[in-house]
């Protein structure tokens, strides 16, 4: 949704609401998983919002680093920002100019919201925040930036996600075209034992084509037996 006309005033108002909410829910009882929150943010929120640590650059909604910089400068900590995020997700402000692009209510709920709010609370508006750098070249960075390891096991990335298939087991023998299709159109061929719609359907829009190619090359090079020939299916 478009940036509010007075973000500082809005954030201070929401901070007061967040403080009440945090007080009501108790302190020190959070079970949030910040790493999982990063994956969910990229998948659910990164299509609309810029956040430096997540590597997202969308401009449909407010730039969260800019929006929360004032709160950081005013001395507000991560817990307050978490509360603001929860309030905004549960009761989003409608766009004054175009309701069609307003943030939908409850885009994440329950534990997903806890994790996303904790992630944003830790990193939004933090000076110098950026995606963690990883070894392995540009494709490895794409894998890390988009939270692929949160769902998939890949030995080269030292990831152990189990929501999706173990890439070391399913990618060997697949061509580059097959792997690319599984990223861009994940429901075209679903791995045995997994339901449809588990993998996000929007990677072709939130990841640049050149980065998808880098990711495919990385996956081919990193999986057992080479994962198939780069020329197959091209």
Averaged in consecutive runs of 10 residues, what is the pLDDT profile of the chain (234 residues)?
Answer: 46 46 46 91 85 85 92 86 93 65 85 96 94 93 88 91 90 95 93 86 90 97 62 36
**Neighbouring residues of 221: CB distance < 8 A, sequence distance ≥ 6:** 139, 227
The pTM of the whole model exceeds 0.75: no
Q: Is residue 131 part of a domain?
A: no
Q: Where are the alpha helices (DSSP H) in 96-137?
A: 110-123
Give pLDDT, residue 30: 65
Give pLDDT, residue 137: 96
Count Cα atoms within 13 angstroms, Cβ side, for 107.
21
83-102 pLDDT tens trace:
999 999 998 876 555 555 67
Mean of all residue pLDDT scores within the chain: 82
Last residue of a domain, one of 123, 157, 174: 123
Last residue of a domain, one of 97, 123, 149: 123
Tally the domains of the chain.
2
Q: How far apart are CA 51 and CA 69, in angstroms?
A: 12
Same-domain pairing of 142 and 114 = no
Same-domain pairing of 30 and 96 = yes
Contacts 24+ apart (CB under 8 A), 149-155: 150/35, 150/36, 150/38, 150/39, 151/39, 151/198, 151/199, 154/219, 154/222, 154/223, 155/222
125-159 pLDDT tens trace:
999 999 889 999 999 999 988 888 878 999 999 98
Q: Which domain holds residue 148?
A: 138-227
Give pLDDT, residue 12: 46
Distances (CA, A) of 234 to 175, 176, 197: 8, 7, 26
Q: Is residue 72 part of a domain?
A: yes
Same-domain pairing of 166 and 208 = yes
Q: Is residue 130 part of a domain?
A: no
Last residue of a domain, one of 69, 91, 123: 123
Give pLDDT, residue 149: 86
Q: Is residue 1 part of a domain?
A: no
């Amino acid at each position: 949704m478009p940036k509010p006309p007075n973000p500082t005033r809005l954030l201070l108002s929401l901070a007061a609401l967040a403080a009440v909410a945090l007080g009501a829910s108790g302190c020190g009882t959070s079970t949030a998983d910040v790493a999982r929150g990063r994956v969910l943010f990229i998948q659910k929120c990164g299509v609309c919002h810029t956040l430096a640590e997540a590597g997202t650059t969308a401009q449909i909604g407010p730039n969260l680093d800019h929006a929360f910089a004032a709160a950081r400068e005013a001395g507000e900590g991560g817990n307050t920002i978490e509360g603001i995020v929860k309030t905004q997700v549960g009761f989003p402000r409608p766009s004054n100019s175009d309701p069609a692009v307003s943030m939908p209510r409850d885009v994440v709920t329950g534990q997903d919201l806890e994790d996303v709010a904790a992630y944003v609370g830790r990193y939004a508006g933090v000076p110098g925040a950026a995606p963690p750098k990883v070894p392995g070249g540009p494709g490895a960075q794409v894998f890390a930036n988009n939270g692929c390891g949160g769902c998939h096991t890949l030995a080269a990335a030292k990831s152990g996600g189990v929501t999706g298939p173990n890439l070391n087991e399913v990618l060997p023998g697949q061509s580059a075209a097959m792997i690319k299709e599984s990223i861009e159109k994940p429901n075209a061929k679903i791995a045995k034992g997994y339901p449809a719609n588990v993998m996000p359907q929007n990677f072709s829009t939130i990841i640049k084509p050149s980065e998808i190619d880098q990711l495919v090359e990385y996956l081919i090079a990193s999986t057992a037996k080479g994962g198939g020939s780069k020329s197959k299916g091209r």
